Amino acid sequence: MQLRKNAMYSSFLFLLLFVVAFLYEGSNHIFRQVEVAVAASSKVGAFENEKAPNFELLNLEGKKVSLEDFRGQKVILNFFATWCPPCQEEMPLLVEIDEKLQNQNIVMLGVNMTSQERNANAVRSFLSYYKAEYDVVYDVDGKVMKDYRIMGIPTTFIIDEQGIVEKRINGMVTPNHVPLLLGKE
């Protein structure tokens, strides 16, 4: 009888330890999921749902412009070069979009791939030709291009008010993108 009681006690203890271990492992799994989610939400990168890399570049007037300057506003960030035919083709649409953004909490910002240009003066002529009035900054050494992992131009990012990449558009902005860029999709 004592032997049977000890066996039952041992079985109960084993079962209790098994349940505790199972619950502990489950809680670890949940904590790992939370850690992964937190890490993913704060990951800095150039893809959707990542925190957009900050930069500080000079604009056409020689003033420093930082992406952080626009925190609290949605930003349309367009990487381009003057010699790029798709960049030339999309420029009238970008100018039209910028005009529609005037009364919204959305900012258009161009990043010229100055490291890929013959000279910086070509940028002023290019923008003047297309009557682009939005702010453009010079990526002289190509660091921002590398940070944003630009493989081809044009490339456009929609960055939300908290600095998170909502959308990456590889290639030309087209009329199909307009509702998305205007925040109406």
Per-residue model confidence as pLDDT tens digits over 31-44: 445 444 444 444 77
pLDDT band at 120 (very low <50, low <70, confident <90, very high): confident
CATH of the domain at 65: 3.40.30.10
51 within domain boundaries: no
120 within domain boundaries: yes
47 within domain boundaries: no
- 163 and 88 in a single domain? The answer is yes
Tell how far CA 21 is from the center of its chain: 41
86 within domain boundaries: yes
Counting Cβ atoms within 10 Å, is residue 100 exposed (0-12), middle (13-18) or buried (19+)? middle
Task: Look up the domain containing 27 and give its range.
Answer: 1-41
pLDDT band at 21 (very low <50, low <70, confident <90, very high): low
- 82 and 164 in a single domain? The answer is yes
pLDDT value, residue 95: 97
DSSP-assigned letter for residue 51: B
How far, in Å, CA of 18 to CA of 125, rounded?
Answer: 74
> Residue 74 in contact with residue 160, Cβ under 8 Å?
yes
- 23 and 72 in a single domain? The answer is no
Structural domain count of the chain: 2
Indicate if the pLDDT at residue 110 is higher than 60.
yes
- 103 and 166 in a single domain? The answer is yes
